Amino acid sequence: MKELIERIRREGKVLDGGILKVDSFVNHQVDAGLMDACGREFARRFAGIGATKVLTAEISGIAPALAAALHLGLPVVYARKTKPITMPDAVLLTVAPSHTKGVMTELIVSPEYLGKGERVLIIDDFLASGATIMGLVRLAQAAGAAIVGVGALIEKSFEGGRAVLAPLGVPVESLAAIKSMENGKIVFDE
Amino acid sequence: MKELIERIRREGKVLDGGILKVDSFVNHQVDAGLMDACGREFARRFAGIGATKVLTAEISGIAPALAAALHLGLPVVYARKTKPITMPDAVLLTVAPSHTKGVMTELIVSPEYLGKGERVLIIDDFLASGATIMGLVRLAQAAGAAIVGVGALIEKSFEGGRAVLAPLGVPVESLAAIKSMENGKIVFDE
């Protein structure tokens, strides 16, 4: 998606450890108009998959998932990383390694909002190793729901997440795919 | 706002400790269409205040703040509760008591995205005691920004937050105000 790629080119910064900083428009400050345009693009790409719910992980997944859900006319559920007191005692829980924190984090969903018969579209900010998204896949599968698609704003193709998701046999879409960040230079897969 | 009040009436649950559970449309599952309508209503109410940025706190503030920012044509910054590695070493930080967790939580904003001359509209999911919102006020003031308005989806009028915010001298708007939750019964201020 041209608008997103241009913005990454202009404001994205490559930090140590292979981290792409996009805090000025995705991860701390959010460009609401750009996010809305990304949501519209996700809705266009996933129009035909018959999704009934969008699933994401707090915190950074919320903005793109909400925008996609709005344009698809669906509710969105965001997996929590700590169990709030409003959640029932029996929950769906898995653990996934956090890319930017270097630790394992829990992903928790209440069975009240994810269950059998749901057709789940997973949306997240990044598709890198695929570890967080596979965590969401496990939660949906544990709930008896079907995964019908995976979308990410930004894919780091060189981290191999797409191959990890391939066995799911569902469409995987990213709006900006980066094939290399060597020496601080961002090269897109165009 | 009638649509939000009706939804709280239908799906809101009063839990022990004065907690209002609205996890089916605000706090865990989010009704994207309702959130968009709330954003439009915030934009209408705050059309004349000359805001340049929306500020909120992760996690539950993100959805309403993003929706408001979209309809106001503004960027949104969400204060983080843990410092991500993409953030510079010198940050704006305050602590505020968490209503639903019973502990103090940090609120952290990078000075890259909040500074002198900004006119800040604070949007959050709840206005209860006003403690989280006053934390955001302190961050904005520390950055040299002006507060120009405060909006919340749901106000618990009986917790006194509005009086805490009064000295700011800015418009405070809530889309649904609850005056009592005694014996599990939600009574609105209409």
Query: By C-alpha distance, which of B182, B163, B185, B184 is closest to B172?
Result: B163
Three-class DSSP category at A92: strand
B30 in reach of chain A (CB within 8 A): yes
Q: What per-residue confidence (pLDDT) applies to A103?
A: 86
**Sequence-ordered strand ranges (E) for chain B:** 13-15, 19-21, 29-31, 53-57, 75-79, 92-97, 104-109, 119-127, 146-156, 172-180, 187-188
Say yes or no to pLDDT of A41 above 80.
Answer: yes
Q: Rounded to 10 degrees, what is the CA torsion of B73, A21, A74, B41? A: -20
ipTM entry: 0.96
Q: What pTM was estimated for this model as a whole?
A: 0.97
CA distance A4 to chain B (A): 15
Q: What per-residue confidence (pLDDT) applies to A100?
A: 66
Q: What are phi and psi of B179, to 5 degrees?
A: -95, -15
A9 in reach of chain B (CB within 8 A): no
A11 in reach of chain B (CB within 8 A): no
The CATH code of the domain at B2-188 is 3.40.50.2020
Q: What is the pLDDT of residues B57-113, one digit of tens each?
A: 999 999 999 999 999 999 999 999 999 999 999 999 999 998 666 789 999 999 999
Asked whether the beta carbons of residue B78 and residue A32 sit closer than 8 angstroms, the reply is: no
Q: What per-residue confidence (pLDDT) applies to A102?
A: 72
A98 in reach of chain B (CB within 8 A): no
Three-class DSSP category at A162: helix
Chain A neighbors of B76, CB-CB under 8 A:
29-30, 32
Q: What per-residue confidence (pLDDT) applies to B100?
A: 67
Secondary structure letter of residue A94 according to DSSP: E
Q: What is the pLDDT of residues A62-72, one digit of tens each?
A: 999 999 999 99
Q: What per-residue confidence (pLDDT) applies to A182?
A: 95
Chain B neighbors of A70, CB-CB under 8 A:
32-33, 35-36
R_g of chain A computed on alpha carbons: 16
Asked whether the beta carbons of residue B86 and residue A21 sit closer than 8 angstroms, the reply is: yes
Share of chain A above pLDDT 70, in %: 98
